[in-house]
Amino acid sequence: MNDEKPTVPDTDPSTWGTPEGRHMIRLLWDPPTPAGRGPKQKLTLDQVVEAGMAVAAAEGIDKLSMRNVAAQLGVGAMSLYTYVPGRDELFELMIDRAWAARKLPDQSLPWREQVELHAREAWRMYQSYPWLIRSNLWRMPLGPHVMDVQEDIYRAVTLTDLPYPEVVRVAGLVESHVFGVARSVITDTSLSSNTGITADEYWESRSSFWGTYYTPERFPTMTAIWESGAFERSAGDEVEFGLARLLDGVELLIERLAVSHPSPVE
């Protein structure tokens, strides 16, 4: 037995994983080969992905359906399946494409400035492509742009000389923070995900709450904050504020570790 399927590690990567997985990796990394035989393709993969981003930008991510993207391109819905395996995969390609616009920091800068630039670039990305907040429910696409940025973030954080486990955590912390601010701002700014109502309309529709169940006795702190006007936030500042606190904390950790394990080179 076991003579047909050897248990030795397979050395040919083109047989690793599943056909679907390999197909998706190829779509992300290789320009799709124009394929000799049949009729010419009316579109390119890039056009399809761009049309998806156009639909998401114009009508919101909830309207990103195969039928809508196809209509945007003037083709039948099922035609898209020759370019893309399915809706989820199209979204994956859109995510990687969104990351393509990320600038990388000058490597000669101090680590903190590099990390700050990465955070601001992430913030800019979420503002440009608000539908990216949905990507949190997806696994990270293994696309070239996502991976290159990710690598550069880890490189920048490594400059702190922190041990690798802490590097991973700090990188995740910065990412989470920007994402968190983006999420709250986008949810409050753009249209509601399902119904098409704005934030103002939402609060207005539920305004009866403030006259019936909300009492300053039950919610004294919120009342005070509200009256101070501090709930009216400016989003950009929130990113910077959190980032500053967070990196202050990281610097403190670096100092503390330096004291307990002094560098032999110093």
Residues that bind DNA (CB under 7 A): 35-43, 63-68, 75-79, 81-83, 86-88
DSSP 141: P
The backbone region for 118, taken as left when phi is positive above 0, alpha when psi lies in -120 to 50, beta otherwise, is alpha
Q: How far is the CB of 191 from DNA (least distance, A)?
A: 15
Which of DNA, a second copy, none has residue 60 at its interface (CB below 5 to 8 Å by kind)?
none
Q: Taking CB under 8 A as the criterion, which residues in 35-54 touch a second copy? A: none
**Closer to DNA at the Cβ: 82 or 184?**
82
* Alpha-carbon span 5 to 239, nearest angstrom: 53
Q: How far is the CB of 40 from a second copy (least distance, A)?
A: 28
- 41, 34 contact by CB (below 8 A): yes
Dump the DSSP string for 34-81: --SSSSPPSS-HHHHHHHHHHHHHHH-GGG--HHHHHHHHTS-GGGGG
Other C-beta atoms closer than 10 Å to the C-beta of 82 total 16
Q: How far is the CB of 80 from a second copy (least distance, A)?
A: 17
- For a second copy, what does the binding mask look like between residues 158 and 197, x meaning CB under 8 A? x----xxxxxxxx-xx-xxx-xxx-xx--xx---xxxx--
DSSP 258: H
Give the count of alpha carbons within 13 A of 133, CB side only.
Answer: 24
Among 205, 217, 260, 265, binds a second copy (CB under 8 A): 205
Q: How far is the CB of 39 from a second copy (least distance, A)?
A: 29
Which of a second copy, DNA, none has residue 151 at its interface (CB below 5 to 8 Å by kind)?
a second copy
* Count of residues touching a second copy (by CB under 8 A): 88
Strands (E), the chain: none
Q: How far is the CB of 47 from a second copy (least distance, A)?
A: 23
Which of DNA, a second copy, none has residue 39 at its interface (CB below 5 to 8 Å by kind)?
DNA
- For a second copy, what does the binding mask look like between residues 228 and 257, x meaning CB under 8 A? x-xx-x----x--xx-xxxxxxx-xx----
Closest CA to 166 of 48, 63, 261: 261
100 binds a second copy (CB under 8 A): no
Closest CA to 100 of 55, 164, 148: 148
Which of DNA, a second copy, none has residue 167 at its interface (CB below 5 to 8 Å by kind)?
a second copy
- For a second copy, what does the binding mask look like between residues 121 and 150, x meaning CB under 8 A? ------------xx-xxxx--x-x--xx-x
* Alpha-carbon span 40 to 153, nearest angstrom: 41
